[in-house]
Amino acid sequence: MAAGKLSPRQKMINLMYLVFIAMLALNMSKEVLSAFGILNSKIIESNSITDERNENSFGQLSQKAVDQPGQYGEKKIIVEKIRKISKEYSDYLEGIKTTITKKTEKDAEGNFMYEQMDKGDVVDALFFNGDKLSKEGKEFLEKIKSYPAQIKDIAGSKLPEVEVDKIEKRFATNPIKSKNAGATLAWIDYNYKSFPLIATVTKLTQLQADVKATESDVMASMFQSDLIAAASLTAYQPIVVLEKSVFFQGEAVKGKIILGKFDPKLVAKSVVVNGSSVQAQAGQANFSFGSGNIGEHAITGSFNFDENGKVVSLPIKDKYVVVARPKSATISADKMNVVYRGVVNPMTISFAGISADKVKATAPGLAPTGTPGQYSMRPGAGNEVVISVTGTLPDNSIVSDKKTYRIKGIPGPTGTIRGEMGVVKGPKSSLEISTVGAKLVDFDFEVGLDVVGFNFKVTGQPTVVVVGNKLNAQCKSVLSKVGRGDQVTISEIKTKLVGAGSYLLPRTAPVIYEIL
C-alpha cells in the first residue's frame, strides 16, 4: 500500500483489496485442509498395502529359516525383534492420533471433516507448555530418536551401513532453519507447533508409513545381502569335471570346467550316494564306498533340500574307473630279454591299468596256464620270438604292444662224480661204483639231466668210450693199473634233458678224479 496521506477513495480501494486477500486466503486454507485430509487417507491406504507386503515377506523369511536354519535362522530372529518394536512405535503414534482427534466431528461415512480441522490448539496443549516441551512432547521426541537406535542395536552388522544411514536420516530430529521465523527452530517446533490438526494427523500417519517402510527395508536388506553374496563371483568356484576318472598315456584328457557355488551355511536335509545315506555337512557331503571290480562304475544319488515346504532333489550323476592295484614295479633289463629252448619258460603278462581278463597275449610256443596273466613259453626254432599283447579298455577300444625275446639254448653243464664238480679225490673203489652226472651251474630253471655217455682217460692208457653213466668193465681194467696220485679224466660227457627226447645239451665240462 502507498505511504503518506490517502484520499477516501484510495482508502476504500485498499480496504476492499485487504478483504479480497483475506477471502482468498480463507478459500486456499479450506483447499489445503482438504488436501491434507485426502493425503492422510492415501497414506493410510498405502500403509495397509505395506503391512500386507511386509507380512508376506516375513512369511517367506520364516519358511527359509525352517528350511535353512543355518543361513536364515538368525536373520528371522532379528526381523522378529524389529517388527515388534516397529509395531509398538506405530501403535504409540496411533494412540496420539486417537487422543488429538477424539473430539473431532466425522461425516456420515465416518470420515473426518477435514475443513473443520484447522486449529492446532489440541496438539499444542499436548506437546508444549508455552515455549517448553510437555512430558508428552518429550516422550514423543524421545520415541522418534530411539527407534533407529534400537534397530541398529538389534541388527548389528547384519544390516548394511547404507541402510542404517537411510533409517537415521528418515527419523532425524535435527534443528531446522526457518525462513519465515527468521531463526533456527527445534525439530518438533518446526513440524508440530501451531499447525492445523489435520496437518499433524497427516504427519503422524506419515511417521507410521516411515516405520512400515523401515520394516520393509530391513527385511529386503536381509534377503538382499544373500542375493548379493550369491551373485558375487567370490561365491563361485571353478569345478573340473573330467569325462572319466582314469586316462591312459597318449589319450586325450577330456572334460569341462563349470562354475559352482559353495555356501558354507547351506546344509542339505539329506544326501544319498549309490543308495546309501551320507551325512550332510556345511555346503557339501563327504562319501566313501568300496571301489568294486575293475572297470567303469556309476555314481548316482541326490542332494535333498526343503524349500517352501517341499523337498527339492538335486541329482548326482558321475562315473569312475577302477584299475588293478600295482603289485610290483616293472623293471626290464634290456639285454636280458631271453627265453630258453628246451625248457618251459614261465611268463607273467599284463597291461597297465587293464584287468587280466581283458588282456590277450600271442606268440609261437606261448600258452596260457589257466591263471589270469600267467603263461608258459616253449620256444621252437630260430633265434627270436615276438610276443604280441592286446588289451581292451573300459570304453571297448583296443590297445596293443609287442616285445621281442631272444631264444637261447641251455648253457653247457659241468660234469660231476658223486655229485661233485672239478677235481674229486677218493679211492679207486669209490670211483668204480660212482655215477657220472652233470649240473647246470647258476641256471634258474629246475631241469633234470641225464648222462648218456662219456670218455674215460688215464694218462698212458688208451681212452675208453663209455655208453651210459657208470664205469664199464674196460674202465675198471684200466683203473686197476693206476696208483696213488694218478688222475682219471672223464670228458666228452654227453648230456640230455629229462623228457626232452633226443635234444642234447652243449658240451659238458669235464671232471677229474684223483686217486688217494
Confidence of residue 178 (pLDDT cuts 50, 70, 90): confident
From residue 392, alpha-carbon distances to 59, 250, 342, 400 in Å are 60, 15, 33, 9
pLDDT above 70 (res 225) = no
Span of 34-38, 304-308, 508-512 with lowest mean pLDDT = 304-308
Burial 104-113 (b: 16+ CB within 10 A, else e): beeeeeeebe
Residue 182: which pLDDT band, with cuts at 50, 70 and 90?
A: confident
DSSP run (H or E) holding 472: none
- Sign for the pseudo-dihedral over CA of 285, 286, 291, 296: positive
133 contact partners, CB below 8 Å, separation of at least 6: 127, 141, 188
Cross-strand pairs, 362: 388
**Choice between 225 and 188, residue whose per-residue pLDDT is larger:** 188
Residues 372-392 have pLDDT tens digits of 889 998 898 889 999 999 988
Q: What is the pLDDT of residues 28-87, one digit of tens each?
A: 467 777 888 788 888 888 888 988 988 888 888 888 788 778 778 888 898 899 999 999
Those residues with Cβ within 8 angstroms of residue 193's Cβ, 6 or more apart along the chain or in another chain: 120, 124, 127, 128
Which of 196-210, 252-266, 497-511 tops mean pLDDT? 196-210
Angle between helices 135-155 and 197-231 (to 10 degrees): 10
pTM greater than 0.85 (yes/no):
no
Residue type, 225: S
User: Which 8-state DSSP code applies to residue 72?
Assistant: H
- Phi and psi dihedrals of 255, rounded to 5? 175, -160
Signed CA dihedral, 318, 323, 326, 329: sign only = negative
Give tens-digit pLDDT for 120-145: 889 999 999 988 999 999 999 999 99
Residue 237, pLDDT score: 64
* Cell numbers placing 248: 591312459
Q: What is the pLDDT of residue 22?
A: 45
Mean predicted lDDT score pLDDT of the chain = 81
346/334 Cα distance (integer angstroms): 18
The pLDDT of residue 302: 77
Q: Which of 19-23, 388-392, 435-439 shows the lowest mean pLDDT across its residues?
A: 19-23
Kindly write down the DSSP assignment for every residue of 14-47, as one continuous string: HHHHHHHHHHHHHHHHHHHHHHHHHHHHHHHHHH
Residue 55, Cβ density class (10 Å: 0-12 exposed, 13-18 middle, ≥19 buried): exposed
The pLDDT of residue 199 is: 87
Q: What is the dihedral of CA 63, 65, 71, 77, to 10 degrees?
A: 130
pLDDT at residue 211 is higher than 70: yes
pLDDT over 50 (residue 25): no
State the pLDDT confidence band at 24, using cuts at 50, 70 and 90: very low
